[in-house]
């Protein structure tokens, strides 16, 4: 027996490594916690690993962390290492045993490969509003969900505007051809989604794939639409009525990345050639201005004949692609305000604004503008025989 030998006790449970000797008959045995235990040299035996293995004993020091009989009788007296490793003592034998791990408790690391669908290698991503009860939109909960209709994984972030800043609402990773609930909202939360932004990168796992551009899309979600039952319908993704907003379809984003939007360029592209020409000619007051109907505001217009301005979207916009109803309304009101300001010095001038009947939204907005910003201007319904329903006659302040 020499220093460094592994030994075990004969008369009691335990063992360790020979750390030294005291005289001829005492051996100092260092246990697994670093304590040196003086034992009679006759009470220890050098570990024979091969023999132990054949007889079913273990010679690993890690499994020889035992306590004496006094410690077994007193709770909490296990060795420090045993406590940290979650070991415990068998009450009947006094032997310390280790926790046995049930294989069923082990983490499942195997994942079934994702099954791809034919024809789904283009990105198609949608934001969905799914009410619990489509007949009670004012009093029901509504799930806001992300639909990934493609063979790509998406690492995404969804945020909403708070003034000039943005608030992250949800982020994560979703598998191909799946849906994920971002959050559940009530009617009082609808306004917070008016300006929303979605960003994502697309990729595949364990196979080659075609790289897709990073997604960076800003959405305008009109809160009032979420209260209108007829706007919710069945979709390929839901059996119940839902409202979908396109984020990406056929690899094409709903609009250019937010950082690349050129407001002036966008405005120019949306304006019709006739509207552009009108603005240019209106600026030349000496030569007269042309109304949206093509009639001259000066010169060619007969005395006392009203100026006619058609505010229908198809008359003042070449295209409404990428615009929602609120965007169109704002532009119609801009044309209305600009027309009144350009003719503010023509006292008594009558201007007929054709806005259509519809739901009366544009007419109400025009009346509100007159009452707030053009006080002193008089207005009334225009002649039904000449303009039909949906036209308002405004007289410039005299």
Q: What is the CATH topology of the domain spanning 307-396?
A: Ribosomal Protein S8; Chain: A, domain 1 (3.30.1370)
Q: What is the CATH topology of the domain spanning 125-253?
A: Immunoglobulin-like (2.60.40)
Residue with the two structure tokens 């490793």: 85
Rounded to 5 degrees, what are φ and ψ at 118? -65, 135
**Under 8 Å CB-to-CB from 61, ≥6 apart: which residues?**
6, 15, 16, 17, 32
Beta partners for 157? 171, 199
- Is residue 108 very low, low, confident or very high in pLDDT (cuts 50, 70, 90)? low
Residue with the two structure tokens 């250019």: 256
Residue 40 has pLDDT above 50, yes or no: yes
Distance CA 141, CA 153 (A): 28
Q: For 360-366, what is the mean pLDDT?
A: 87
DSSP conformation class of 213: P
Query: Which pLDDT tens digit goes with each residue over 250-274?
Result: 999 986 544 444 555 555 545 544 4
Pairing status of strand 6-9 against strand 15-22: antiparallel
Residue count of the chain? 398
* Angle CA 36–42–44, to nearest 5: 50
Give yes or no for a contact between 58 and 13, defined as CB atoms under 8 angstroms apart.
no
* Angle CA 102–105–110, to nearest 5: 120
Distance CA 126, CA 243 (A): 10
pLDDT at 150 (0 to 100): 95
pLDDT at 331 (0 to 100): 87
Q: How many CA atoms are closer than 13 Å to the CA of 215, on its beta-carbon side?
A: 31
Give yes or no for a contact between 396 and 340, defined as CB atoms under 8 angstroms apart.
yes
Query: Which pLDDT tens digit goes with each residue over 185-204?
Result: 998 899 899 999 999 999 99
CA 3 to chain centre: 65
Query: Which pLDDT tens digit goes with each residue over 167-178?
Result: 999 999 999 999
User: How many helices (DSSP H) and strands (DSSP E) are in the chain?
Assistant: 9, 21
Distance CA 177, CA 125 (A): 10
Which of residues 311 and 12 earns the better pLDDT score? 311
Rounded to 5 degrees, what are φ and ψ at 108? -85, 115
For residue 2, CA distances in Å to 18, 20, 39 come to 7, 8, 14
Residue 113 has pLDDT above 90, yes or no: no
Beta partners for 197? 159, 218
pTM, whole model, 2 decimals?
0.43
Rounded to 5 degrees, what are φ and ψ at 156? -125, 165
Helical axes 325-342 vs 361-373, angle rounded to 10°: 40
């Amino acid at each position: 027996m020499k220093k460094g030998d592994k030994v075990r006790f004969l008369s009691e449970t335990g063992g360790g490594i020979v750390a030294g000797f005291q005289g001829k008959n005492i051996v100092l045995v260092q246990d697994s916690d670093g304590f040196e235990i003086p034992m009679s040299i006759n009470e220890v035996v050098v570990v024979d690993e091969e023999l132990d293995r054949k007889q079913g004993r273990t010679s690993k020091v890690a499994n020889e962390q035992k306590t004496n009989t006094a410690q077994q009788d007193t709770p909490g007296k296990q060795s420090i290492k045993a406590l940290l490793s979650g070991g415990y003592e068998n009450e009947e034998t006094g032997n310390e045993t280790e926790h046995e791990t049930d294989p069923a408790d082990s983490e499942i690391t195997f994942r079934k490969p994702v099954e791809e669908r034919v024809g789904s290698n283009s990105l198609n991503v949608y934001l969905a509003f799914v009410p619990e009860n489509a007949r009670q939109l004012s009093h029901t909960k509504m799930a806001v969900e992300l639909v990934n209709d493609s063979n790509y994984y998406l690492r995404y972030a969804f945020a909403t505007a708070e003034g000039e800043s943005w608030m992250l609402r949800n982020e994560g990773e979703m598998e191909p051809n799946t849906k994920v609930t971002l959050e559940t909202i009530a009617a009082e939360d609808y306004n917070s989604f008016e300006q929303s932004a979605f960003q994502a990168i697309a990729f595949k796992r364990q196979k080659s794939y075609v790289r897709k551009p990073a997604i960076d899309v800003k959405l305008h979600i009109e809160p009032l639409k979420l209260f209108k039952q007829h706007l919710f319908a069945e979709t390929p993704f839901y059996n119940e009525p839902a409202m979908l907003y396109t984020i990406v379809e056929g690899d094409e984003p709903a609009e250019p990345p937010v950082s690349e939007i050129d407001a002036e360029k966008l405005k120019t592209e949306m304006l019709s050639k006739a509207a552009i020409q009108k603005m240019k000619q209106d600026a030349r007051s000496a030569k007269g201005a042309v109304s949206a109907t093509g009639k001259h505001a000066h010169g060619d217009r007969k005395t006392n004949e009203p100026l006619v301005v058609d505010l229908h979207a198809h008359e003042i916009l070449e295209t409404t692609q990428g615009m929602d109803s609120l965007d169109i309304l704002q532009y119609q009101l801009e044309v209305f305000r600009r027309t009144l300001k350009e003719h503010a010095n023509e006292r008594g001038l009558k201007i007929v604004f054709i806005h259509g009947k519809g739901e009366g939204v544009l007419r109400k907005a025009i009346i509100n503008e007159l009452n707030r910003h053009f006080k002193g201007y008089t207005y009334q319904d225009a002649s039904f025989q000449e303009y039909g329903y949906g036209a308002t006659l405004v007289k410039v302040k005299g």
